[in-house]
Structure 1
């Protein structure tokens, strides 16, 4: 066998070996992925999680987030009927008034829920007419409720219990009866009382009426202009708390800004001590780098819990948590940027007779400025989101208000409102940081 033939055989064997490896990898990788998913399916007990899932409740919460409900309540103990938006005392219709779909006659009422759904309340008895099902009769007693259902199977939207009757034939209609009250919920799309509280003199006015009122010289309150009064009524809305929400958003932004720029100002000088080409001492470099590892090795949430225990609740604890974590991260990034600078620029500045501070100012800073600005602005917009999570732990800001609205099932429209505002702030921070990067780096 000639040398050329031997070499050709070796090359062919090499190519075949590579093909076999690639084929084995292409066939084996899907099996590995499937095996991993099969392991996680049982390790995380996904079947049990699916059994416990409550999709109906998720749909109800989603409905509450984009709609409001009007409560019609018959109080068995005190007597009388009341109509209130979201059941709030501050949003209760005055006695003798009610929406056009509620007809009150003393202690009795007829409630038209539209599409054939009709409720009659007579004394302690409620008759609920449901299309394609029949009339449900429920009577409140001293010990609970007595229910008479139409013949046939009981639908799944009826929860008949001797202590409480609950029926929700559709997402926008619900009836509850106990021994103490009869309560009807009628849902409507939108966020009611968003601009002004129910008891505000501005409630129900159109945009045109508000503009005319703002331009009018006839003041509603003698000590302030009508425009100031309109703004005050909007910010002091007791249902939506616009003033408190905007203040909390401002605290969240300040938390992110203070924490990020503190980390940048502390991390930059420490980065010079951690860079190999600026600090010849191995012990100093090693010590500073381990400080960076320690600061960024502990998650921001853990730092916030530590500072909350140490200094109490407040935005300062959130800013400190952001500053500690980002000092480690930004310090490491800055030190790596310093190690990759072009020393010829520094030597050129040195040749002019510049001192060490001037060499740093004119030979080093211009080279790392793009990295510095880009990373700081990126972490600023990222920390705006992180400040929301930190605030939920007790550091204040919009995160704390978000958690407070989620504690009860009746404030999901407020939760949605806060989430929308948070997303808008994050988008605004992203756009602002992109504009600043272009101006500071390209300009």
Structure 2
């Protein structure tokens, strides 16, 4: 090649690289600009509610006690999270509520709500006394100032006041106070349990005196947090992942032989087997869940079948590729001993693919444990169902946090167990993962 041709070629390569250097960033910039416009990123700040976010986060680690008065008959009820299972017995109340002809609710920091005979008042330090009078015509409210602050929402039929101490809502038929407190109230024992409010040392003393079974029974049968139901839901989730994963592995192994060219010389059979694998793994597990739930109804078995179908396609492809890469010399050695075909597969093939098989199956098991949570939410089984139920109520976000924590712990345990089992069965290590 002449010097001129070499220089021309170098110049062309330089021009091409420079063009690519400008083109690639320009394409990326245009793509991000497209995303910014299509997804309306500029309006995101307007749609985000800081107040709702703060309330959601606080609900994750706190609980609220409802103090409710029926404005029609004057009856007052008090309940944790407003649930019947967390209701105080009639005539009893927490120490910050004073029952009587007038009910006084101390929200702390000198915030006092009073349920009078006809009026409901809220004394707010630094602002003044808000007086409301619910009746048939609506809610008549009087405020200390002419200009109503943004943390008060007032209309003819409803007055809602939200402060750092709590919240008061007054309608024609009902007046309700929310008081927030840190922690997960009634997590161990409900209000009707004789062990509610006991310290750890006192509980140990009762347990030592022969009440350990009763203490455990009250905790396990907790009607608010449903520990027994949650434990069973976790078991169902793990069971769905286990049955689906190992069921798929059992089915995919013989089918993998049909798709491997060194075991199935007929091209038509191999083609059919591979297309079956493509079809099964090409449809997402959630889609299979919806289809199967229409056919078999909701339940953990439907979730297991959905995982089984998807993983059969994935395992079949991986197992067939592993079979195509086995060492033929080992098979020839087994054949020279007069072994039959099944014996050749058992002693010449299976030992070679076992590490790959176990590694993939155990990896999918831990992955399917996470997937089973979402699948369970659709098919009506496992911890996923409890999670969606808690989210749909939009009030018990501490329960949502509890379930999410349990899901994370479950996945971590499955990951640890899977890693330990892989090291034992494949690497032969004595130590854990």
Q: Fold-level match, TM-score > 0.5?
A: yes
Matching residue of 2:431: none
CA shift, 1:306, in A, is 1.4
Determine the structure 2 residue equivalent to 1:149. 143
Cα offset, 1:156, TM superposition: 1.4
Structure 1: how far apart are the matches of 2:360 and 2:390? Answer: 34
> Within the alignment, does 1:201 sit opposite 2:194 as a pair?
yes
Aligned equivalents of 2:282 and 2:380: distance in 1? 21
Which residue number corresponds to residue 221 of structure 1?
none
Match of 1:421 among 394, 406, 418: 406
Range with bigger deviation, 79-88 or 282-291? 79-88
Q: Deviations over 1:169-210 (max 9, x none)?
A: 22x510101111221111001100001111111211222222
Q: Tell me if 1:355 matches 2:349.
A: no
Q: Give the Cα–Cα distance (whole angstroms) in 1 for the partners of residues 17 and 424 of structure 2.
A: 48
**Superimposed CA distance per residue, residues 202-228 of structure 1 (whole angstroms, 9 cap, x where no aligned partner):** 2112222222222214xxxxxxxx322
Return the TM-score normalized by structure 2. Answer: 0.94
Counterpart-to-counterpart distance in 2, 1:142 and 1:395: 44
Alignment partner of 1:168 is 2:162: yes
What is residue 417 of structure 2 aligned with on the other side? 432
Q: How does 1:8-23 map to 2 (within 5 A)?
A: 8-23=3-18
Q: Within 5 A, what are the aligned runs for 1:101-116?
A: 101-106=96-101, 108-116=102-110
Partner of 1:113, secondary structure, is strand
1:189 equivalent in alignment to 2:182: yes
Measure, in 1, the Cα distance between the counterparts of 2:111 and 2:188: 31
The CA deviation string for residues 379-429 of structure 1, in whole angstroms up to 9 with x for no partner, is 111111111111111241111111111111112111111111111111100
Whole-angstrom CA distance in 2 between matches of 1:111 and 1:386: 46
Q: CA deviation at 1:30?
A: 2.1
> Partner of 2:177: helix, strand, or coil?
strand
Deviation for aligned residue 1:50? 4.9
Secondary structure, counterpart of 1:407 in structure 2: helix
Tell me if structure 2 keeps the 8 A contact 1:317–1:395: no
| Aligned-pair CA distance for 1:152 | 4.7
Which residue of 167, 170, 187 corresponds with 1:177?
170
Superposed counterparts of 1:286-301, under 5 Å? 286-301=271-286
* Partner deviation per Cα, 1:308-337 (whole Å, 9 max, x = no partner): 111111111111111011000110011111
Superposed CA deviations along residues 369-388 of structure 1, whole A, max 9, x for unmatched, are 11101110111111111111
Aligned to 1:30: 25
Residues 253 and 384 in structure 1, CA contact (< 8 A), matched pair in contact too: yes
**Equivalent of 1:323, from 302, 308, 312?**
308
SS of the residue aligned with 2:385? Answer: helix
Determine the structure 1 residue equivalent to 2:119.
125
| Distance across 1 between alignment mates of 2:178 and 2:234 | 33
Helix, strand or coil at the partner of 2:153: strand
CA distance in 2, matches of 1:153, 1:26: 60
Matches for 1:271-290 after TM superposition, within 5 Å: 271-290=256-275
Structure 2 contact 81–396 (Cα < 8 Å) conserved: no
1:304 Cα offset (Å):
1.1
Give deviations 1:124-161, integer Å, cap 9, x for gaps: 22222223322222111212111112225322111001
1:394 aligns with 2:379: yes
CA distance in 1, matches of 2:291, 2:303: 10
Is the CA contact (8 Å cut-off) linking 1:145 and 1:163 kept in structure 2? Answer: yes
| Alpha-carbon distance between aligned partners in 2 of 1:332 and 1:50, rounded to the nearest angstrom | 46
Q: Which runs of 5+ in 2 are unaligned?
A: 429-433
Q: Is the 8 A contact 2:74 2:117 kept in 1?
A: no
Q: Given that residues 65 and 79 in structure 2 are in contact (C-alpha distance below 8 angstroms), is that contact kept between their aligned partners in structure 1?
A: yes
Asked if 1:64 is matched to 2:49, the reply is no
Asked if the contact 2:66–2:179 (Cα under 8 Å) also holds between the matched residues in 1, the reply is: yes
Q: Which runs of 5+ in 1 are unaligned?
A: 218-225
Query: 3-state DSSP class of the match of 1:165?
Result: strand
What is the CA–CA distance in structure 2 between the aligned matches of 1:427 and 1:408, rounded to whole Å? 28
Distance 2:215 2:99 in 1: 34
**How far apart, in 1, do the equivalents of 2:248 and 2:108 lie?**
60
Secondary structure (helix, strand or coil) at the match of 1:105 reads coil
